[in-house]
Amino acid sequence: MNFSQRIGEKPAFKEIQLHQIDSELRITLWNIVKMSYLDFLDKAKHSRMSIFRAFAFTTWFNFYKLPVDQISIYDSDIEKFIRHRFFNDKWFEIYDFIEFIINIDFNEDIKTEFIKTLNNALEKEFSGYRIINNIVAPISNQIELEEVANSISNTNNLTALEGVNIHMNSALEFISDKKNPNYRNSIKESISAVESTCRVITGESTLGKALDKFETKGLIINNQLQAGFEKIYAYTNDKDTGIRHAIVEQANEPDFEDAKYMLVSCSSFINYLIGKAEKIGLKY
């Protein structure tokens, strides 16, 4: 806490920025894009297809949707245009741009450090978003971030859990759409990821049957913990939510908090099950 915060002239803490980007966050993100991304690209003045110009063509064609023959011959003008857009675009378009450049194929070491620097800044400036698996996702604290990231990483490394990984990535994408988030489908994908994990471990056809069969596989789960997750599963099957079944009447529409809770909870449960299975040497 600095001097102005200690004497009450500035607020000690910001509110989480979920539907906005304040000037401090915008400037911080630009500085990182400039120093940790653009400055690493090859700006060879005499090469029309330097790495920087190839980046410009890709960005004009695929992101800005502008005619590529209008790209300046001067790299400095190209960067000025990108900067102008960055400081004048809407808040969600800033995240769109960051997500776009992260997914351009370039040096993995630079990309890893770039993402790490961005996530540190997003946390420091109280953004409600973090970068997980190259997606800007609405996760607001480090524990939640690690649970979701670990579930995706753990299932990505095991062929048997490929389906789980697809469900988790889908859940993340549905909740992360800044313009049109689909919380209902995000919840559906989150619980489907758990169901898929349980079915792979036990060989059963449904989540309910799988939860009952863990003990026969040597995987001991506390009864209350199991009952708690059975209730979470029941929530997704409830006719009032219309999440896993057709909507036959006006349903209680899930919101961001519901989807985020399910994403983090299901990620934690998947990590828990994988860890338990590994501990006893269970093969699947």
Q: Are residues 251 and 242 in contact, defined by beta-carbon separation less than 8 angstroms?
A: yes
Taking the CA atoms of 185, 187, 191 and 197 in sequence, report the sign of the dihedral they define.
positive
pLDDT of residue 67: 97
pLDDT of residue 135: 92
- 55-59, 220-224, 239-243, 260-264: which is most confident: 55-59
Give the range among 2-6, 123-127, 270-274 with minimum mean pLDDT: 2-6
Does 13 have pLDDT greater than 80? no
Does 98 have pLDDT greater than 60? yes
pLDDT of residue 204: 81
- Secondary structure class of 117 (helix, strand, coil): helix
Instruction: Give residue 202's pLDDT band: very low, low, confident or very high (50, 70, 90).
Output: confident
pLDDT of residue 205: 78
Residue 59 has a CB neighbour count (10 Å cut-off) of 21
Which alpha helices (H) appear in 103-206, and where do they start and end?
A: 108-124, 142-156, 162-176, 183-202
The residue with greater pLDDT, 234 or 172, is 172
Instruction: Give residue 59's pLDDT band: very low, low, confident or very high (50, 70, 90).
Output: very high
Q: What angle do CA 235, 181, 112 make, to 5 degrees?
A: 105
Does 276 have pLDDT greater than 70? yes
Residue 167 has a CB neighbour count (10 Å cut-off) of 23
pLDDT of residue 15: 65
Does 99 have pLDDT greater than 90? yes
Token output for 105:
């194929």
Express each pLDDT in 214-236 by its tens digit: 878 888 888 888 788 888 878 88
